[in-house]
Structure 1
Amino acid sequence: MTAQDILKDLKSRKFKPVYLLHGEEPYFIDVVSNYVEHNILPDAEKGFNQSVFYGKDTDIMTVLGAAKRYPMMADYQVVLVKEAQDMKWGKEDDDKKGINPLLSYLDNPLPSTILVFCYKYGKFDKRKKAYKAIDKNGLIFESAALYDNKLPAWIKGYVTSKSYKIAPQASAMLAEYLGNDLSKIANELDKLMLNIAAGQEISLKEIQDNIGISKEYNVFELQTALARKDVFKANQIINYFDANQKANPIVVVLANLNTFFTKILQVHYLKDKSQNGIARELGINPFFAKDYEAAARSFDYGKTMNIISLLRECDLRSKGVDGGAPHGELMKEMLFKILH
């Protein structure tokens, strides 16, 4: 099931007694847990029938104690465990009598309790008996991280769900600029949509005006300048980054350039190096394919490999390894070595 499938069931009041939400992408886990916390019970019932625990501050016995209670003057009670990856779960063979309290509950969960474990930033061990018990008597949702080439489509879907539209170039730029942090993307889009009329299409201009991307001096323009070996423009942009480091932190610049040159390396392996071929094989928007095509002509295979090594070296130095230096100086030195 997807997060939207789970939300659909929750809105229809189709509940499972136990949910395990786990995986590397926290966004979808937060979407489901937020709905559970704020919408399952009316406010008048939450005081007696809703318990919210945080993994590092609780243990499994405390959670089970809450889960075994019956709701007071209500049909259900909600027990929500956030950051469950930090919880003291106990060992499955802890009980001397051979009866583990957790497994005992999961094998026969209370129908009037909605117990939700939010296990973020990693997968729950599928070999554990607890996993198998939840799978049998409840619902398990794995929140997988989105691949970079899936981000523009996800952005389009998110915007559409809010009754807005977004231009393909705008969704591609947003994905490239913000990376695959879905919570950050959703937050930026929500703020952006407050500033434009309902139903309006979000264009490159709205992205540039509202999400702090300079129209002329951003990492995408830098990539274009590098692809064309436009030394003057590339230096203008790096100088702008140096003067505005808060809006253009070196970690973001390096991450985007590393992705850019890694894709250029992939282009060198392609049989079809046309813009359509590049877009299809790399899973990128055709809007950006021309830059990769130009860059592959400007930087041969050997030079591309050297640049990727250079970016990694620059990243280490920016963190104080091997003779750190001011970030502005590192970016300028990096640019010189890429272009010469």
Structure 2
Amino acid sequence: MDAKAAAKEIKQGKFSPIYCLYGSEKFRMNEFAAFLESELIAKEDRDFAVVPFDLSETPIQAVVEEAETVPFMVPRKLLVVRDASLFTAGKDNAKLEHRPEVLQEYLSSPAEFSVIVFLVNSDKLDERKKIVKALKSAGTVLAFNPLGAEELLRWVEKGIRDRGSEAAPGAAEALIASAGTGLQGLSAEMDKLCLFAGPGGTVDSAAIESLVPRGTEQNVFTLVEDIANLRLDRAVGTLHELLKQREEPIKIAALIARQFRIILQVKDLSSQSYTQGQIASQLGLHPYAVKLAGEQARKFRGEQLREILSLLADLDFQMKTGGIDKVLGLELFMLRLGAGRTA
């Protein structure tokens, strides 16, 4: 079962006694936990019915004891358990003594008046552990991995609609280009943009350009995109904007090299018939970043990318040894790159 199917069941009033949420997308995990709370517990009951735990501070047997205790003044309660590392691989360095067998016994006959949701900060569970097998058998286990490229675009568009505004064509792409792929940051920017647009208003690229500040990595990505499309005046403008923000030229060069390295890796892996998801997993990147790198990769030949990386390695050496003025070195690199692309 995935999160969408689980949410549908919850809306129909079908609750699992145990939920285990894990993965790298903490924002979506917290979002699901908040949704579960809103559907399970009436607003006026939450002070009594929602019980938070942190397994770095509380042993699992205390959680089970609370789950087995009849709720006071409310029909049922929700136990939100964070830092649930006893479901993952590796040694637990906590000073507390957890007794997972107590939870395992509870899972065989969970209380009808309690729902436990575990939040696990890990990309995977340890399938070898008996407690994980028992958890999967008795409850609902949901993975929250990075959204795919198209899923992320739809998530942004839906987020804008849910806030009472409409997304103009290309607005979702423009927002991700400015704010990055982090859901927490995107959510905060959507709040701001929709407040600016007003109920029924439209969020467009112009609003994003004026209201959403670009991070250094986003500016570097735009710079590389401009180089790829031979928009050298804009690329140099972006460079000078980064320098105005007091970014170190050596750092800028390193980020440019990183982006070209990603483009080359995506190009090589794509030629070996790797899917977008496989490439993202292999390189440890967000699928949307792989999608954009793939689009950039089509504008270069493999030999060109290797030559660019060689030029950047030489530039890095010259900048660090005082062989060239750092800003001048970056400007000359971009001009040389532009001349090579037009040749």
Fold shared by both chains (TM-score > 0.5): yes
1:148 to partner: Cα distance: 4.2
Q: Is 140-149 or 330-339 further displaced after alignment?
A: 330-339
**What's 2:196 paired with?**
195
1:177 to partner: Cα distance: 3.5
1:220 to partner: Cα distance: 5.8
Q: Please list every run of 5 or more consecutive structure 2 residues that lacks an aligned counterpart in the other structure.
A: 272-288, 337-343
Aligned partner of 1:55: which letter? L
Aligned partner of 1:184: which letter? G
Contact 2:179-2:212 at 8 Å conserved across structures: no
Which digits, 9 at most, give the CA deviation of each residue in 1:238-294, with x for residues without a partner? Answer: 111111258x99989966874466346656877xxxxxxxxxxx9858xx95x665x
Rate the CA distance shift 1:72–1:64 in 2: closer, same or farther, 3 A: same
**What's 2:125 paired with?**
124
Alignment of 1:31 with 2:37, yes or no, is no
1:193 to partner: Cα distance: 0.8
Contact 1:60-1:89 at 8 Å conserved across structures: no
The whole-number CA distance in structure 1 between the counterparts of 2:191 and 2:128 is 39
Determine helix, strand or coil for the equivalent of 1:194.
helix
1:188 to partner: Cα distance: 1.3
The whole-number CA distance in structure 2 between the counterparts of 1:101 and 1:312 is 57
**What's 2:280 paired with?**
none
**What's 1:135 paired with?**
136
The whole-number CA distance in structure 2 between the counterparts of 1:198 and 1:17 is 39
Aligned partner of 1:124: which letter? L
**What's 2:157 paired with?**
156
**What's 1:211 paired with?**
212
The whole-number CA distance in structure 2 between the counterparts of 1:339 and 1:233 is 12
Rate the CA distance shift 1:78–1:232 in 2: closer, same or farther, 3 A: closer
Aligned partner of 2:211: which letter? N
Contact 1:29-1:120 at 8 Å conserved across structures: no
Contact 1:18-1:116 at 8 Å conserved across structures: yes
Q: For residues 244-283 of structure 1, what are the structure 2 equivalents within 5 Å?
A: 244-245=245-246, 258-259=258-259, 262-263=262-263, 266=266
Rate the CA distance shift 1:38–1:56 in 2: closer, same or farther, 3 A: farther
The whole-number CA distance in structure 2 between the counterparts of 1:5 and 1:249 is 48
The whole-number CA distance in structure 2 between the counterparts of 1:143 and 1:35 is 15
The whole-number CA distance in structure 1 between the counterparts of 2:59 and 2:327 is 47
The whole-number CA distance in structure 2 between the counterparts of 1:185 and 1:37 is 23
Rate the CA distance shift 1:313–1:193 in 2: closer, same or farther, 3 A: farther
Determine helix, strand or coil for the equivalent of 2:196.
coil
Q: TM-score, normalised by structure 2?
A: 0.71
Contact 2:83-2:120 at 8 Å conserved across structures: yes
Alignment of 1:19 with 2:19, yes or no, is yes
The whole-number CA distance in structure 2 between the counterparts of 1:38 and 1:249 is 49
Alignment of 1:70 with 2:70, yes or no, is yes
Contact 1:166-1:202 at 8 Å conserved across structures: yes
Q: Give aligned-pair identity as a percent.
A: 22
The whole-number CA distance in structure 2 between the counterparts of 1:163 and 1:332 is 48
Determine helix, strand or coil for the equivalent of 2:73.
coil
Q: State the aligned residue count.
A: 305
Q: Is 160-169 or 249-258 further displaced after alignment?
A: 249-258
1:40 to partner: Cα distance: 2.8
Aligned partner of 1:120: which letter? N
1:147 to partner: Cα distance: 3.6
Q: For residues 270-309 of structure 1, what are the structure 2 equivalents within 5 Å?
A: 284=291, 295-296=299-300, 300-308=301-309
Aligned partner of 1:126: which letter? E
**What's 1:104 paired with?**
105
Determine helix, strand or coil for the equivalent of 2:197.
coil
The whole-number CA distance in structure 2 between the counterparts of 1:112 and 1:252 is 56
**What's 2:284 paired with?**
none
Rate the CA distance shift 1:220–1:101 in 2: closer, same or farther, 3 A: closer
RMSD of Structure 2 on Structure 1 (CA)? 4.2
Contact 1:258-1:311 at 8 Å conserved across structures: no
The whole-number CA distance in structure 2 between the counterparts of 1:334 and 1:121 is 40
